[in-house]
Amino acid sequence: MQTLFDQVFANGVLLVMWGALLFHLILPIPHAAHPVTLWHKFAELLADKVNNNRNYSQSLISGTLAWLLMCFPALILLIALKPLMWQPQLFELALLLLAIDWRNNEKLASQLIRALSQDNKPQARKLLAPVVNRQTDTLSTLGLGKASAETLIMGYGRNVICVLFWYAIGGGIAALMYRLTAELARAWSPSRQRFAPFGSSVVKVVAVLEFIPLRLFALMIVAGHNASNTFSMMLTQSRSWPLPGPAWLITSAGNKLELSLGGPAIYDNVKAVRAKLGGRIAPSALHLAQLQKMLAWRILAWLLIQSALLLIIHQGI
């Protein structure tokens, strides 16, 4: 046992990961003051300046250059700062703290559950408005339940699972660069007509970055009760969803709890036809609580498995 503890403490990667999680859960960075939120605002300002080409190819090139303009200098700066830090582990911890966003998802889930349980639709719409691209002011009770469930699923998947995955692959720099790129994809989402060509490049990059982690997490959700039916429905329904990683994740969670997800959504006053996913149960406050609990346990399992793999890999090295 003592030897195992010695190995863990000797493994700086594990210490940084669990230390960042501990600090994040105790003292989370508020969403409004988070550097990623400022990054998102700057991305919107940049798009207002350069996303003015009506030609499809020119708009696509503008979006690609805008993505490189924001991400490439950030990557160079992080790489240049690392050797200057007197303690590399603290630098890695700081970057992981900026990248991960578990506690704010928990807070949002609790607030949405409370609002829906009280049938407070104005409050639920207000909570969803800053974190989704779709219009929320006309959402019905059913629409609020679906939007809340999808937001929680993708929030945990991208802001926790994908961040942890890329931390394991390339450390704090990789984790933060993934989070910044994913935030650009949300700011310039082609689901809104004005970003249809402009944001396509960064969305494709994010789709590649999250393909493996989201699909692995989806398989973890499938495991357990009714796994065979959940897996077959996930494979069938995911073909009708545009992005491969989110397709598996949303369909696995929806079918696991038999929740009705997907369906039409309004973006910038334009109704988008989306496939219907999951089961037939309209998500309510009770189902959101069940969804949150299920995702939390799966994330804990992911952490334990990732910790074991990191320990084995770094011990072997």
H-only helix segments in 223-261: 227-238, 244-256
152 closest CA partner among 271, 47, 31, 253:
253
Q: Report the pLDDT value the prediction gives residue 32, as an integer from 0 to 100.
A: 81
Contact (CB, 8 A) for 101 and 36: yes
- The per-residue pLDDT for 316 is 59
Q: Determine if the pTM surpasses 0.85.
A: yes
287-312: b (≥16 Cβ within 10 Å) or e: bbbebbebbbebbeebbeebbeebbe
DSSP calls for 170-229: HHHHHHHHHHHHHHHHHHT-TTSGGGTTTTHHHHHHHHHHHHHHHHHHHHHHHSSTTHHH
Amino acid at 106: E
pLDDT of residue 5: 46
What parts of the chain have a pLDDT lower than 50? 1-2, 4-10
Q: What is the CA radius of gyration of the chain?
A: 20
SS3 123: helix
Tokens standing for residue 27: 């003292």
Encoding tokens for residue 231? 């897996």
Q: How many domains does the chain have?
A: 1
Q: Find the domain containing 166 and state its range.
A: 1-315
Q: How many Å apart are CA 165 and CA 169, to the nearest integer?
A: 6
Name the region of 87 (left: φ>0; alpha: ψ -120 to 50; beta: rest).
beta
b (16+ CB within 10 A) / e for 211-229: bebbbbbbebbbeeeeeee
Closest alpha carbon to 137 in 124, 120, 153, 151: 124
By the 10 Å C-beta count (0-12 exposed, 13-18 middle, 19+ buried), 5 is classed as exposed
Which parts of the chain fold into alpha helices (H)?
Answer: 2-10, 12-26, 35-50, 56-81, 88-99, 103-117, 121-128, 141-156, 163-187, 200-222, 227-238, 244-256, 285-316
User: Residue 63: its pLDDT value, please?
Assistant: 92
